[in-house]
C-alpha cells in the first residue's frame, strides 16, 4: 500500500506533466507514456524495445518518448483519467476502465479463445480489434486505442492437489472481486473469497485460502510459487491491456508523426503478444524446477469446465445485449 508521501509524489509527477506532448525549445516533442506494470512484463518490454526505439528513430529525433513503468504515475484508474483529460499522452490500462466501457468485460470472459494463439490473432490482426477500437473512440472521443496488448492467461494454483476438474470441489480460492471471476470459482465447485492482492501471499502462506488464479508470470513475479504446490494450467481468462492515447495530443501531431506513433503502437502490441506467448514454456519450466506440479487440462477436461460454466455464460448474455454477437465474432476469427 502506498504511503501518503508516495501518493503525493505520484500526484506531483502527474501534475508536472500537464500539457505534455508540447514542442520543446529545441523542436523536439516529448511523448509521456505510463503503465502500472513492472519492466519485466511483456507489455513494458515491448514498449521499451519497440515503441520507444521506433518512434525516436523514424522521427529522426523529432519525437522523444519518456516512459514510467511500475505505477510511478499512479494507479490504472489514475492513468486512465490522466489520458482522458490530456495530462498524460499514452497509457497502458486494463480493468480500470471496465466500468466506464462495459464491452471490455469481454476480456474477462472464461474460455473465450481456442488457445493463446487465437487470442493473439483476435487482438492484433482481426476486425474485432479494429471495431472495438472504433467503438471505444465513439464512446470516449478524447481518446484513441492504439493497440491491444496481453496481460496474461490466468491459471489456478493451490497448496492442495489440483490436477483435475474434480479437485476444485471445496477448495478455497482467492478471486478478484467481480461477478465473472467469483462465478467461475462457484460453478467449478470451489469457495471463492475476495482478498486484496497485496494480502494474497500471506493468505496463501497462512492457509486462509488454498489457492488463487493469476497468470504464471504473476506466480513467479510475486513469488506465489513459494506457497503453492500445484498449478492447473487452465488459461481460462486471457485479459488484454489497451494502449490508449489522448486524441488531442495525437491529432495535433503532423500527419507523418501520427503514422509513426500508430505504426509503432501496433508493432508494440504484436511484439508483446509474441513475447508473452513465446515465454509460456519457460514460465512452466521455472515452476516445475521449483517443485510445483503443473498439469495441463486435456481437451475433454477443458470442455467439462466450459459445460459447468454454462449458467454463467447465460447470465452474461442476458445482462449484455452486445455479448452474444461479439462472442460469435471472436469465435469466427481464424
Q: CA angle, 187 as apex, 166 and 157 as ends, to 5°?
A: 55
Give the start-to-end residue ranges of the domains of the chain.
4-150+240-280, 155-237+282-332
| Helices 323-332 and 127-139, axial angle in degrees (round to 10) | 150
- Distance, in Å, from the CA atom of 148 to the CA atom of 277, rounded to the nearest integer, reads 14
Q: Which three cell numbers stand for residue 222?
A: 510475486
219-266 pLDDT, tens digit per residue, is 998 899 999 999 999 999 998 999 999 999 999 999 999 999 999 999
State the distance between the two ends of the chain, measured CA to CA, in whole angstroms.
43
10 Å Cβ neighbour count for 72? 15
Q: State the CATH class of domain 155-237+282-332.
A: alpha beta
With H, G, I as helix, E, B as strand and everything else as coil, classify residue 211.
strand
CATH homologous superfamily for the domain 4-150+240-280: Bacterial extracellular solute-binding protein, family 7 (3.40.190.170)
Which pLDDT score is estimated for 103? Answer: 87
Equal fold, 4-150+240-280 vs 155-237+282-332: yes
48-100 pLDDT, tens digit per residue, is 999 999 999 999 999 999 999 999 999 988 999 999 999 999 999 986 677 77
Amino acid at each position: 500500500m502506498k504511503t501518503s508521501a508516495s501518493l503525493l509524489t505520484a500526484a506531483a509527477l502527474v501534475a508536472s506533466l500537464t500539457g505534455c506532448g508540447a514542442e520543446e525549445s529545441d523542436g523536439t516533442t516529448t511523448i509521456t507514456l505510463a503503465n502500472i506494470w513492472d519492466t519485466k512484463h511483456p507489455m513494458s518490454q515491448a514498449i521499451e524495445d519497440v515503441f520507444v526505439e521506433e518512434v525516436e528513430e523514424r522521427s529522426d529525433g523529432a519525437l522523444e518518448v519518456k516512459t514510467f513503468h511500475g505505477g510511478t504515475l499512479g494507479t490504472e484508474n489514475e492513468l486512465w483519467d490522466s489520458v482522458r483529460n490530456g495530462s498524460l499522452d499514452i497509457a497502458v490500462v486494463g480493468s480500470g476502465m471496465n466500468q466506464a466501457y462495459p464491452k471490455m468485460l469481454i476480456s474477462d470472459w472464461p474460455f473465450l479463445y481456442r488457445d493463446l494463439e487465437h487470442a493473439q490473432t483476435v487482438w492484433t490482426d482481426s476486425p474485432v480489434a479494429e471495431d472495438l477500437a472504433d467503438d471505444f473512440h465513439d464512446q470516449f472521443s478524447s481518446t484513441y486505442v492504439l493497440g491491444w496488448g496481453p496481460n496474461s492467461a490466468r491459471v489456478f494454483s493451490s497448496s492442495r492437489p489440483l490436477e483435475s476438474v474434480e479437485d476444485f470441489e471445496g477448495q478455497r480460492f482467492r478471486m478478484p472481486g467481480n461477478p465473472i471471476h467469483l462465478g467461475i470459482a462457484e460453478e467449478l465447485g470451489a469457495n471463492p473469497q475476495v482478498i486484496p492482492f497485496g494480502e494474497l501471499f500471506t493468505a496463501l502462506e497462512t492457509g486462509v485460502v488454498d489457492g488463487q488464479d493469476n497468470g504464471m508470470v504473476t506466480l513467479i513475479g510475486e513469488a506465489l510459487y513459494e506457497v503453492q504446490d500445484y498449478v492447473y494450467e487452465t488459461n481460462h481468462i486471457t485479459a488484454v491491456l489497451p494502449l490508449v492515447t489522448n486524441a488531442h495530443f495525437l491529432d495535433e501531431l503532423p500527419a507523418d508523426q501520427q503514422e509513426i506513433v500508430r505504426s509503432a503502437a501496433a508493432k508494440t502490441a504484436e511484439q508483446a503478444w509474441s513475447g508473452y506467448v513465446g515465454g509460456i514454456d519457460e514460465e512452466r519450466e521455472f515452476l516445475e524446477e521449483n517443485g510445483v506440479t503443473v498439469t495441463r487440462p486435456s481437451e475433454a477436461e477443458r470442455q467439462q469446465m466450459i459445460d459447468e460454466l454454462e449458467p454463467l455464460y447465460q447470465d452474461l448474455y442476458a445482462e449484455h445485449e452486445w455479448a452474444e454477437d461479439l462472442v460469435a465474432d471472436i469465435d469466427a476469427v481464424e
